[in-house]
Chain A
């Protein structure tokens, strides 16, 4: 993961967590970003993790050393397909009446609120969501839609910018 020619990050320790299922169309975008970041290499101070469905497991990735956590995931927020948007933790809409019906349903907002209640000492100072607007989430084995695939380098660039890294454009490696 180490790549010494990159600029050092501002945050002393940062964690980038990519969420998604690489087998399911646009849900693969988190995995594609993970793959590209891994290939490109990140400084030692940045830890890169892949987490299939996120949820409570996210809390286990936090050690208390991280100043910044960036979560990368596909979203459906009504933006044009392929839009890359950054949300700070404070901007995430307030949860109202949500309760999951399956283990898949525990969201980032809930997870982080639980983390802040139980393990405040582990929580990073800053939490960002890098969301990539997707369209197709129902086709196992399908490729990402072209606009979402094209957004992968944009998401990588946005992450690098947040980490104060000079982004080196890479060959597009996100299609499986």
Chain B
């Protein structure tokens, strides 16, 4: 998409003509009369066509059709829908199917975290927040560090290939269905997958020190990141055997101090996760309800580490301990979303390796299913956080109602708090529009919001910030 706009109080900045449209966002910063920060937030327009397109469809199609809602996290929808259908039919997919779903998912996580870390956050991490905008872009970073960039893009490809080989298709996976997976792993495929995992492991070994060094340098450049860009909140993620899990297990919520407050099966999500309307945005925010009180909470890589503090593999656990040594536990430092992505990416590679070496992965992958009528709830931990699919399916296997809870809705309150931190450090008393834009974008990028799930894109501007003082708009900055 592309646009050039001209309005009285705005700068005109030309943007890439075919930037994908989904990234549209508006941010407001409200200042009091004395110039101090009142509040700030992200305005997103909710895309709520799900019910419209899903209702009346055969439930069997859900893993395929929901995967096509979003081009960025199709596998998260694919697996959440498959889990929901398994529950609807009262079946448990065979162990080999669960392992293959998980393997597909590990590929998805590797690919998504690599993209987020290296391509989206790369310029922030390499240059800090206040660099000259002329050199602040991913192309500049790539040109300055071609060897690292090649490895970073290659590890993304490795993840994507794992996802594709197990998922059966590149863009939108198709192999996970109600009752299991549509193929049995053969030795040829296993060998291909193993060779990708081996390559991924080596790439992660080369890239991990680079990312860690970038985080440390960022903290040196912006010491306020350790002290002021901190958003204490509840954390929510999925737990199995007391460890981080992505496609099966209970949902666990821990409070600001890391104390487990509740753990529940996904079917009970609506007892705890409460949607509410906010007056400045079309997207419904989700809060966590316990004992009659509503709590803001975080989902995603940092939240999963805060909630579980344990992975199933050694290297990931070592990296997590190192991370928590630097960031404390529970860690509420926004920048550490990046560090947490690195830890999860390492775990995903190790876990993929473990799955391929597990003889159980070679077993039968499918059980017969029959829809009995009733509610079907399933979930997955999308790279960005907990994703829940909730369908009402009739006895003929037709979807009669659907509801989806996506990560961005749950992170909404914390994203807005991070925007306030950015506004405090880069708006008040400062006049550099580019630094402001970047600080605010950085705060949003840490969560890598999947706006296409949660919003629709109106117009072509990926970012618009309005600064209001005493109720009057004093400045609009557009990217």
Question: Interface on A for B, CB 8 Å cutoff?
Answer: 21-24, 27, 50-57, 59-60, 71, 73-78, 87, 92-110, 113-114, 117-118, 129, 131, 137-142
Contacts and interface: CB of A to CB of B under 8 A. Distances in A.
A103 to B, nearest CB: 5
13 contacts: A52-B172, A57-B160, A75-B18, A95-B15, A95-B137, A97-B133, A100-B119, A100-B120, A104-B20, A104-B71, A106-B20, A107-B16, A107-B18
A110 B170 CA distance: 22
A95 to B, nearest CB: 5
Contacts of B457: 137-138
Contact of A99 (B116, B137, B449): B137
A101 B444 contact: yes
Interface in B322-348: none
B240 interface: no
B53 A103 contact: no
Contacts of B134: 97
Contacts of A52: 68, 71, 74, 171-172
Nearest to B171: A52
A169 B445 CA distance: 45
Interface string B13-28: 1111111111101000
B365 to A, nearest CB: 26
A102 B153 contact: no
A115 to B, nearest CB: 10
Q: How large is the interface on B (under 10, 10 to 19, 20 to 34, 35 or more residues)?
A: 35 or more
A75 B120 contact: no
Given A73-B18, A114-B149, 13 more contacts: A53-B22, A76-B459, A98-B16, A100-B120, A101-B445, A104-B71, A104-B451, A106-B20, A110-B16, A110-B139, A114-B139, A117-B149, A141-B49
- Give the dominant DSSP class at B's interface: loop
Contacts of A53: 20, 22, 71-72
B479 A23 contact: no
A95 B444 CA distance: 21
Given A103-B116, A118-B153, A108 B23 contact: no
Contact of B53 (A109, A117, A140): A140
Interface in B421-460: 434, 438, 441, 444-445, 448-452, 456-460
Contacts of B452: 21, 104
B137 A140 contact: no
Given A52-B74, A103-B450, A140-B49, A59 B153 contact: yes
B400 interface: no
Most buried by B among A56, A77, A99: A99
Contacts of B16: 93, 95, 98, 107-110
A24 to B, nearest CB: 8
Nearest to B437: A97
Interface string B408-424: 00000000000000000
Interface in B90-115: 112, 115
Most buried by A among B16, B18, B142, B171: B18
Given A51-B171, A100-B120, A139-B456, A117 B13 contact: no
